[in-house]
Amino acid sequence: MKFISTRNQTEQVTASQAILAGIAPDGGLYVPQHFPQFTVDDFNAEQNLSEVAVRLLGKFFSDDQLAEELPQICQSAFDFPVPVKPLSDGLSILELFHGPTAAFKDFGARFLAQCFDKIPTEQKRTILVATSGDTGGAVGCAFEHSTSAKVVILYPKGRVSPLQQQQLTCWGDNVTALQVDGDFDDCQRLVKAAFADKGLQEKYNLASANSINIARLLPQMSYYAYAALRHFKTSGQVANFIIPTGNMGNGMACLWARACGLPIGKVIFASNANHSLYDYFANGEMLPHSSIATLANAMDVGNPSNFERFAIDQAFAENTMCQTISDQQIKQSIIDGFSQYDQTWCPHTACGFVAWQNLPEEIRNEHWYLVATADSYKFKEIVEPLIGEVISAPASLLDLQSRASNFIAIKPELPALAEVL
């Protein structure tokens, strides 16, 4: 399997080369040259998540130096549970927040860290990661003890929850947190500018841990495959997914899994008041805008990077829809989820529940999987006043709160980032 740029389909690289580069030399994003095809019979009903991942991802690493390492990488990266909980006759919750930082970003971050540590290098890498909330914490955790890379996290000042900020700034000397005086799009722009600067790229051996890196998207395909295969083997029906998404990484992972022939039907992207993706689905034109601060802050993205991967193939748009959800709807969804179903949802998962409620009855009666992206405790300042109860902290987050917090404040300018590097 080879990977090509979204902007230049002639140059081909291996999976490891694409992982190390992060972004293609022409500024495009790497995508598979083709999607291998699977049937449900290629998987056993008894396979756990890591075993499904090895079978699925093996085709993408077939001629790569990491091929023999893949079983160990998947086993180490996916060593936490992925519960699927029925909520009603037509809705199940796919809980992706049981990793060490209580967010779905743990899947991709841990897989990426395992890959980097197993690819030989003479010079230690510098991982740049822009975050709107959860990505940076997951990457910091995954790379804290890495022998092959150090991490620089860029997060927007005043745009993350207190617990998220603690989780971004509490790691050891291997991880540096930068508080950018701007929004997430400013952070993302700085990372892209650094990669475009050949001097910085070569001097600091830069690499990416955002969802622009294929080692973030490829492992995220695994939990969609896992849930869809279980559903099909039980019911004989395809699974439909509702995915809270901002930068479109989690959404594209599902579409990639569907492109591989897995039993996935309809896909709905649930976005917040940042409406550029919704507008595209409504009128066919992507018009990026400055990001808007919302309760679902990890999705506060006005210019989603992964749209470039979406736009290269019209087949991705088939049976794919998008909804935009307001803060008021998010609040009501959190209240309804708790009072009607005894569920405590983070604001992002609450967006997905609103999207399900908004479906026409005949479509809502098909079976849907709502992707729950983060533990509600990470947003307890929002959730607790709405449900009138105190949320218990997951064990994985208790230790983090006792750690010291350190960050460097910078302006949203490349020279400021270069000085820190």
Q: Are 129 and 93 in contact (CB under 8 A)?
A: no
Strand partners, 93: 85, 370
The active-site residue out of 2, 105, 198, 266 is 105
Task: Identify which of 41, 65, 35, 71 has the alpha carbon closest to the alpha carbon of residue 53.
Answer: 71
With 0-12 CB in 10 A as exposed, 13-18 as middle and 19+ as buried, what is 36? middle
| Secondary structure string (H, E, C) spanning the chain | CCEEECCCCCCCECHHHHHHHCCCCCCCCEEECCCCCCCHHHCCCCCCHHHHHHHHHCCCCCCCCCCCCHHHHHHHHCCCCCCEEEEECCEEEEECCCCCCCECHHHHHHHHHHHHHHCCCCCCEEEEEECCCCHHHHHHHHHCCCCCEEEEEEEECCCCCHHHHHHHHCCCCCEEEEEECCCHHHHHHHHHHHHHCHHHHHHHCEEECCCCCHHHHHHHHHHHHHHHHHHHHHHCCCEEEEEECCCCHHHHHHHHHHHCCCCEEEEEEEECCCCHHHHHHHHCCCCCCCCCCCCCHHHCCCCCCCHHHHHCCHHHHCCEEEEECCHHHHHHHHHHHHHHHCCCCCHHHHHHHHHHHCCCHHHHCCCEEEEECECHHHHHHHHHHHHCCCCCCCHHHHHHHCCCCCCEEECCCHHHHHHHC
Rounded to a whole number of angstroms, the distance between the first and last alpha carbons of the chain is 34
Task: Classify the phi-psi angles of 319: left when phi > 0, otherwise alpha if psi is within -120 to 50, otherwise beta.
Answer: left
Active site residue 105: yes
Q: Which are the catalytic amino acids?
A: 105
